[in-house]
């Protein structure tokens, strides 16, 4: 509990600094380098690193609280941080029992420990998973790897790589050239062999620098995560929360930021007395409060029983509620604030665009609704779901 | 915690029995006498009675969980039980410090204890507060009382008195004939002097028997709650949750019951595979889960800091979310299930009507939204709210 | 144009009389016999009968206007009238060219003329199409017919037969005992061989008397519509508007009645000044006005180009908009009016229940949305639609 | 009718050319100069100019159809064109009777005719009405004018002047320096004395170049519209449709463009078969079709009975429906299309931003709902409306 409040408080203290820089990064689509310096100095890169490796050993619930607070400052910064938290959180969650069950050799665990220690010391990692055409579906990747002298050669192109060009390392999923059914994950260090193609120029979350990343790189043996090939899908199934729920916490923060910005704007113009405005803010407040509870509940259950059926339902609920609430609330807050809030540089102008993105991250709101519906009807989403986007 | 789960589990066990009787009571608008026998036998009338007086000494959170479970069986039963819980909960919450501060004499505390012990022994109380024209506003009552030999004479007419004719006692608010600014509350025992006029014949929650109650009755001295006149408004201000939030838990149960009924109906007809049906159930499930969290959070805060500004905001959020969610969800579930579920006697037919009532109980959804909006904008709902219905 | 305004004006004049009787019929689930006497006396049974056969020769647009006006009085009466209008409208729309193309013999046309003349003289017809299990899908009927001496013997059971026991004749769809792929339609006169089982006891539209109808009856040769077997599906495809759009006009009237009732209720209680109330009525008014335009546009196109692809899209739009608008508006109006409007006998209490039924009539709102979506995406709803309820 | 279809057809033919340029102008916030060359060459500047002055003498309904078609190409272009149509439409609508009633001298009518002839010959006019602080409320303007030798000297600053720096003339409202209660309108020619301050850099409708316009200019006597001072408010009251409804037609086009873009995007990616996608497109199609009918109906009534009570209600309905529908539909279409449609340069990315602006133009959606609600409740919006933004 102590570490949790500590990290969330640190994030809350940082939020105004992030907010002050948000407009410029949004305008230019530039990466918030200073935000990440702040995050490093606040020790947040070690948030998910186990205490014995020098980190804060935070729970998923603690992560969610941090992400929401950061997103109240800048949703884009929180989204990129989310990727780092996913990588370190998933690595840190591999227990000795699990490692043994998966056949992870000791030297792979040692390599894992080095990566986590580095994070606790201030390194941060990005995720290079999606590909054009394949989306985030591991089963359809075109990036391949093969063993070479002293390591692995990886070749392919990734898209939507948040933080591309700024991270210290990249979690890369690739399939074996020898056996296409084998998908493995590597932690590729920044440097030669990686080329960033600046393709990211989007409606919202512009400062994430989610550019394309081209890989033609050789990495050391110890960069194969888990030390044995073919673990990518296993890990994905064990930790679906990192692929879905971690977004939700971000969008709750974005939605709350929209309410805050609208209240400030309306008070400054003496429009707080308008009944229509009050109704909009009241309903928005209730909706965001409920979404925040859903995210917290999902996170609590992820900590208690990760991957469980009921946990997964909470993860989908959180994702669905956060995504739809953020978009609806930001649209309503902009309408409450009026034309003067549509000027570029006004927080609501940016938040309206950022907020729209939450439902679109995988699993989309429509997919979450489908999965939840199947589960509510007693079915099995894995078996019955159409969800061709996942 | 023990008592909480205990009571909630008991309520959960009772729910199917309540559900089995719900259709008949709804059809006839008859009071669910057997349900109340079940509640008595399960010891639930003592739920809010302090342990030292023979009760379960439950928290508000425990009450909320019980109310939701009962409402999954029959919302009307849960609504009437809510009234009893309000009376015993408010009486039980009067601490010695508060009693001293309010100038409550010792014999009044002893009288209070007798009423609570009776509840623990199986008595239950209804609330006779609203009047035609005045609604639930204490400041506009027409019922008057005056001192007579050996007690108080009370005369007037109440409306929307859930459980009228069935309760063992009635919490009656009245104003002093001598000084109309003084409003007091009495616990009037069932019996002579009370006449039930069967006016309740409504869209939903038909089994609450919320008839008119005419009073022309003399009660003993010890039936003036608190032992001193004029405490009604003070108590109302100290415990707004009993006037607002306690409904919310009921409607979460009603909403969940609608989802359950739709799922059962659709599975029985092999319609669970329809994408539109799945989307409806998925979105409904997420919305109800969020409303349930909001009710639990409001209840938790009521236990921690009753009457606090932030507690009250949570109370309004819970009321708003539960009321709107129940109505929306029941309407969508009926649409998912189709025409065959509109047949009288089908649970969804009743739930669609019951669910519409939640937003209408005071404070209505529109009033809650207004108050929340004022608070979100930094104002004071007491000062700035228009809310002429409260 | 003259006849249109004439009939619509007549309907408007009748509406208050229908409204005055609506509460009692809704309470008892009794058929509005007096309403139908009024309709007869106003000459409305001949509305869709060609002028040369003694009727008003009204357009579909004129019908829609009449249905909306009647529904402002009593939606149930309008729904039953809709069935009669469907039968006479479809019969009247069979041109000589079409009859020739379908191979309809002269004596069948003469029989058709007799039925229409009878309607112009005051007879009215109900529809006995749906069956348990099959719904309204012609392809899955269990009712069978076979040729017998001097006519046809028909045996089976129908459900949702609005006006059962009150009509002068019933349009019955049945499949040939000899060749199950052949589906024909008969106009079965009231009388022996028809048994009404009073199964209709529903949430809304209670006065339609949409009971089960059991048939074990022999009818004359001339009662086979079209005089040749197997025309049922052909006619259904030529006139989908009668199966879908005619409901829409009814629910626009129901929705408008809800606004009227709410305005009257709120003005009587001096609550018209509440901002939340005004916002609800304003948004409701705009939505209903738009739905009414959509119904009128669909009707106009049905008159111009019945069965055309674009006409059908308008028919689905009208059905979707009228159904969803009626349910949403009635729910909002009841919320605006408050608890006192939930008393049985209050128009809003009934309208809230009636309004929910619109989306459930085939094609349901979800099915219409699916078909419209397919068409908008350039597909063919007949080929690509799942819509298993149609 | 001929001229109407002619102009609407011309607009429809131009739309693809406008659409092809829209992304670049949106990106740079640059004025679509080539679009306006196209409009001039198509003769559309004379659309609202009476035939006897060389124009098309179009109805308001014809204008609405043109505006919708243009907006399917580029909403920003349509919005600026709307301003020109407002000026020429209002000038052209001043009949001889009205002129006489207002005391307009003959030379003022001649001046009016010159302005309209010039428009028919290819000139176009912008509107410089709003001011910071005053919004569009004529009663609170700070721009002043005074008589000088040979004309009028006008001094002040305008904001939200769509087309600033590109129009041939500007409709400027100003108050008399001598008598602040007198508000007059001038048609100020482009040229010296006008300075554009490039302040427009907004969320949506970026290509309108709605910059600030500073005036310190002397114009000829004949530039006072109507030839007598103080006519501005009179004209505003006679033609509220030009201040409210003309936006509505634009946003219907924007909403339809969003559906078209989503359909194209989804078909190109073979995603048209997803049920959730189909449901989104189907519901969007119905909503936009209804909004389009409401705009057409409002326009028809404006032509028949401008300024009438019922006409104004239709104007508010059209504005409310078009504004809310455009925002909702664009948000849903972007969600249907997914992340790849959020890339800058994708039509949906722009349309999502453009569409949000419709509800914000005066009268806002919330104000329209309030006015409609008052009217529905039998009140008088002029007397009872709060609407502090108008």
pLDDT tens column, C233-292: 777 666 767 766 789 999 999 999 999 999 999 999 999 999 999 999 999 999 999 999
Q: Is A316 in contact with A371 (CB distance < 8 Å)?
A: yes
| Token pair in block for residue D299 | 């326009």
CA distance B290 to B306: 22
SS (H, E, C) chain C: CHHHHHHHHHHHHHHHHHHHHHHHHHHHCCCCHHHHHHHHHCCHHHCCCCHHHCCCCCCHHHHHHHHHHHHHHCHHHHHHHHHHHHHHHHHHCCCHHHHHHHCCCHHHHHHHHHHHHHHHCCCCEEEECCECCCECCHHHCCCEEEEECCEEEEEEEEEEECCCCCCCEEEEEEEECCCCCCEEEEEEECCCCEEEECCCCECCCHHHCCEEEEEEEEEEHHHECCCCCCCHHHHHHHCHHHHHHHHHHHHHHHHHHHHHHHHHHHHHCCCCCCHHHHHHHHHHHHHHHHHHHHHHHHHHHHHHCCCCHHHHHHHHHHHHHHHHHHHHHHHHHHHHHCHHHHECCCHHHHHHHHHCCHHHCCCCHHHHHHHHHHHHCCCCHHHHCCCCCC
CA distance A284 to A281: 5
CA distance D277 to D271: 8
pLDDT band of C189, cuts 50, 70, 90: very high
pLDDT band of B121, cuts 50, 70, 90: very high
Preferred mutation among B376, B384, B386 to probe A, highest tally of A CBs within 10 A: B376
CA distance B350 to B338: 14
**Which among B342, B361, B365 has the least Cβ separation from residue C203?**
B342
**Which among C276, C342, C360 has the least Cβ separation from residue B203?**
C342
Give yes or no for residue B3 having a pLDDT over 50.
no
pLDDT band of A390, cuts 50, 70, 90: very low
Q: What is the pLDDT of residue B237?
A: 66
Whether the link from the prior residue into D12 is cis, omega within 30° of 0, is: no
Span A293-310, pLDDT tens digits: 999 999 999 999 988 999
Is C286–D377 a contact, with Cβ atoms under 8 angstroms apart? no
Chain A positions in Cβ-Cβ contact with residue C277 (cut-off 8 Å): none
Q: Is A172 in contact with A144 (CB distance < 8 Å)?
A: no
Q: Which fold has domain A2-124?
A: Butyryl-Coa Dehydrogenase, subunit A; domain 1 (1.10.540)
Q: Is A361 in contact with A390 (CB distance < 8 Å)?
A: no
**Chains sharing 3 or more CB pairs under 8 A with chain D:** A, B, C
Residue C230 region by backbone torsions, left for phi larger than 0, else alpha for psi between -120 and 50, else beta: left
Distance from CA of B207 to the nearest CA of C (A): 13
Whether the link from the prior residue into B289 is cis, omega within 30° of 0, is: no
**What totals of helices (H) and strands (E) does chain A contain, helices first?**
13, 7
pLDDT band of C94, cuts 50, 70, 90: confident
- Per the model's pLDDT, the better-predicted residue between A208 and B5 turns out to be A208
Mean pLDDT of B331-349: 97
CA distance A141 to A157: 10
Give yes or no for residue D336 having a pLDDT over 80.
yes
Span B189-206, pLDDT tens digits: 999 999 999 999 999 999
Of chain B, the end-to-end C-alpha distance in Å amounts to 34
pLDDT band of D237, cuts 50, 70, 90: low
Q: What is the pLDDT of residue D67?
A: 97
Q: What is the mean pLDDT of chain C?
A: 93
Q: What is the DSSP letter of B191?
A: S
pLDDT band of A5, cuts 50, 70, 90: low
Q: What is the pLDDT of residue C81?
A: 97
Q: What is the pLDDT of residue A97?
A: 87
| Nearest C-alpha in B relative to D279 | B276
| Token pair in block for residue D286 | 């119905």
- B262-B267-B271 Cα angle (round to 5): 90
Mean pLDDT of B320-334: 98
Residue with tokens 């109704």: A279
Mean pLDDT of C348-373: 96
CA distance B232 to B237: 9
| Token pair in block for residue B101 | 């501060």
Q: What is the pLDDT of residue C183?
A: 93
Q: What is the pLDDT of residue B243?
A: 65
pLDDT band of C32, cuts 50, 70, 90: very high
Q: Rounded to 5 degrees, what are φ and ψ at D63? A: -55, -45
**Which among C263, C281, C377 has the least Cβ separation from residue D281?**
C377
Q: What is the pLDDT of residue C3?
A: 43
CA distance B82 to B64: 9
Whether the link from the prior residue into D363 is cis, omega within 30° of 0, is: yes
Chain D positions in Cβ-Cβ contact with residue A353 (cut-off 8 Å): 203, 353
Give me the CATH code for the C126-228 domain, please: 2.40.110.10
Provide the residue count of chain A: 390
Q: What is the pLDDT of residue B387?
A: 53
Q: What is the pLDDT of residue C69?
A: 98
pLDDT band of C390, cuts 50, 70, 90: very low
Is D282–C368 a contact, with Cβ atoms under 8 angstroms apart? yes
Q: What is the DSSP letter of B379?
A: -
**Chains sharing 3 or more CB pairs under 8 A with chain A:** B, C, D
CA distance A146 to A153: 5
Specify the CATH architecture of the domain D239-381: Up-down Bundle (1.20)
Query: Is A239-378 a CATH 1.20.140.10 domain?
Result: yes
CA distance A131 to A138: 9
C289: closest CA among D369, D165, A39? D369
Q: Out of 1.20.140.10, 3.30.390.30, 3.40.309.10, 1.10.10.10, which CATH number does the structure's domain B239-384 have?
A: 1.20.140.10
Residue B195: exposure state from Cβ atoms within 10 A (0-12, 13-18, ≥19): middle
Q: What is the mean pLDDT of chain D?
A: 93
Give yes or no for residue B128 having a pLDDT over 90.
yes
pLDDT band of D240, cuts 50, 70, 90: low
Chain C positions touching chain B (beta carbons under 8 Å): 160, 201-204, 271, 274-277, 327, 331, 334-335, 338-339, 342-345, 349, 352-353, 356-357, 359-361, 364-367, 369-370, 386, 388-389
Mean pLDDT of A21-27: 98
Q: Is A67 in contact with A254 (CB distance < 8 Å)?
A: no
Specify the CATH architecture of the domain D126-230: Beta Barrel (2.40)
- Per the model's pLDDT, the better-predicted residue between D140 and A347 turns out to be A347
Q: Rounded to 5 degrees, what are φ and ψ at B146? A: -150, 155
Q: Which of helix, strand or coil describes residue B148?
A: strand
Q: Is D73 in contact with D22 (CB distance < 8 Å)?
A: yes
Q: Distances in Å between the alpha carbon of D216 and those of D138, D182, D221, D232?
A: 19, 19, 16, 20
CA distance B360 to B355: 10
Q: What is the pLDDT of residue A94?
A: 84
Mean pLDDT of B273-301: 97
Whether the link from the prior residue into D85 is cis, omega within 30° of 0, is: no
CA distance B143 to B156: 4
Distance from CA of C279 to the nearest CA of D (A): 5
How, if at all, do strands A169-176 and A144-148 pair?
A: parallel
Domain boundaries of chain D, sorted by first residue: 2-124, 126-230, 239-381
Beta strand ranges found along chain D (DSSP E): 125-128, 144-148, 151-161, 169-176, 183-189, 194-197, 211-220
Lowest mean pLDDT among A312-321, B249-258, D135-144, D225-234: D135-144
Mean pLDDT of D255-282: 97
Provide the residue count of chain C: 390
| Token pair in block for residue A224 | 């194969």
Distance from CA of B75 to the nearest CA of D (A): 33
Q: What distance separates the 2 farthest-apart alpha carbons in chain B? A: 72
Q: Is D200 in contact with D159 (CB distance < 8 Å)?
A: no
| Nearest C-alpha in A relative to D270 | A388
Alpha helices in A180-231 (DSSP H): none
Q: What is the mean pLDDT of chain B?
A: 93
**Which among D202, D342, D349 has the least Cβ separation from residue A343?**
D202
Q: Is D3 in contact with D43 (CB distance < 8 Å)?
A: no
Q: What is the pLDDT of residue A140?
A: 81
- A351-A355-A361 Cα angle (round to 5): 145
Q: State the Cα torsion B370-B371-B373-B374 to the nearest 10°.
A: 120
Mean pLDDT of A172-182: 94
- Percent of the residues in chain C that have a pLDDT greater than 90, as a whole number: 83
Give yes or no for residue B138 having a pLDDT over 80.
no
Instruction: Report, in angstroms and rounded to the nearest whole number, the Rg of chain C calculated over CA atoms.
Output: 21
Q: Is C352 in contact with C35 (CB distance < 8 Å)?
A: no
CA distance D342 to D335: 9
| Token pair in block for residue D91 | 């000038």
Q: What is the pLDDT of residue B390?
A: 37
CA distance B143 to B129: 10
Give me the CATH code for the B126-229 domain, please: 2.40.110.10
Q: Is D75 in contact with D82 (CB distance < 8 Å)?
A: no
| Nearest C-alpha in A relative to C275 | A275
pLDDT band of C56, cuts 50, 70, 90: very high
Chain C positions touching chain D (beta carbons under 8 Å): 259, 263, 266-267, 272-273, 275, 277-287, 289-291, 293-294, 297, 313-314, 316-317, 320-321, 366, 368-379, 384, 386
Span D28-79, pLDDT tens digits: 999 999 999 999 999 999 999 999 999 999 999 999 999 999 999 999 999 9
| Bridge partners (DSSP) listed for residue A202 | D343
Give yes or no for residue D233 having a pLDDT over 90.
no
How, if at all, do strands C169-176 and C125-128 pair?
A: parallel
Give yes or no for residue C95 having a pLDDT over 90.
no
Cβ neighbours of residue C61 closer than 8 Å, sequence gap 6 or more: C4, C296, C299, C300, C302, C303
Q: Is C224 in contact with C186 (CB distance < 8 Å)?
A: yes
- Whole-model pTM: value is 0.96
Give yes or no for residue B314 having a pLDDT over 90.
yes
CA distance A296 to B163: 39
Q: Rounded to 5 degrees, what are φ and ψ at D91? A: -65, -45
């Amino acid at each position: 509990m102590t570490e949790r409040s500590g990290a969330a408080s640190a994030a809350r203290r940082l939020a105004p600094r992030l907010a002050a820089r948000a407009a410029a990064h949004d305008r230019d689509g530039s990466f918030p380098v200073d935000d990440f310096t702040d995050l490093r100095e606040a020790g947040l890169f070690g948030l998910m690193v186990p205490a014995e490796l020098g980190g804060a050993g935070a729970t998923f619930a603690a992560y969610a609280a941090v992400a929401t607070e950061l997103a109240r400052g800048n949703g884009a910064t929180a989204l990129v941080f989310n990727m780092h938290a996913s990588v370190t959180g998933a690595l840190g969650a591999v227990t000795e029992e699990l490692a043994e069950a998966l056949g992870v050799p000791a030297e792979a665990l040692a390599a894992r420990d080095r990566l986590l220690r580095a994070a606790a010391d201030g390194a941060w990692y990005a995720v290079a998973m999606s590909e054009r055409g394949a989306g985030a579906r591991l089963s359809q990747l075109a990036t391949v790897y093969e063993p070479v002298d002293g390591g692995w050669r990886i070749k392919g192109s990734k898209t939507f790589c948040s933080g591309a060009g700024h991270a210290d390392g990249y979690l890369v999923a690739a399939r074996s050239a020898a056996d296409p059914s084998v998908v493995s994950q590597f932690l590729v260090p920044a440097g030669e062999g990686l080329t960033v193609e600046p393709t990211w120029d989007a409606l919202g979350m512009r400062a994430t620098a989610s550019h394309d990343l081209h890989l033609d790189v050789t990495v050391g043996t110890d960069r194969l995560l888990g030390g044995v090939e073919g673990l990518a899908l296993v890990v994905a199934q064990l930790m679906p929360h990192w692929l879905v729920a971690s977004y939700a916490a971000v969008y709750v923060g974005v939605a709350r930021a929209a309410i805050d910005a609208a209240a400030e704007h309306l008070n400054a113009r003496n429009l707080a007395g308008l009944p229509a405005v009050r109704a909009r803010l009241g309903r928005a407040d209730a909706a965001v409060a409920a979404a925040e509870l859903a995210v917290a509940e999902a996170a609590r259950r992820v900590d208690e029983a990760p991957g469980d059926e009921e946990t997964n339902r909470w993860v989908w609920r959180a994702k669905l509620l956060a995504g739809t609430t953020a978009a609806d609330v930001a649209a309503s807050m902009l309408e409450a604030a009026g034309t003067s809030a549509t000027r570029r540089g006004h927080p609501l102008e940016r938040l309206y665009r950022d907020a729209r993105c939450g439902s679109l991250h995988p699993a989309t709101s429509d997919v979450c609704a489908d999965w939840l519906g199947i589960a509510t009807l007693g079915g099995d989403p894995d078996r019955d779901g159409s969800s061709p986007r996942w």
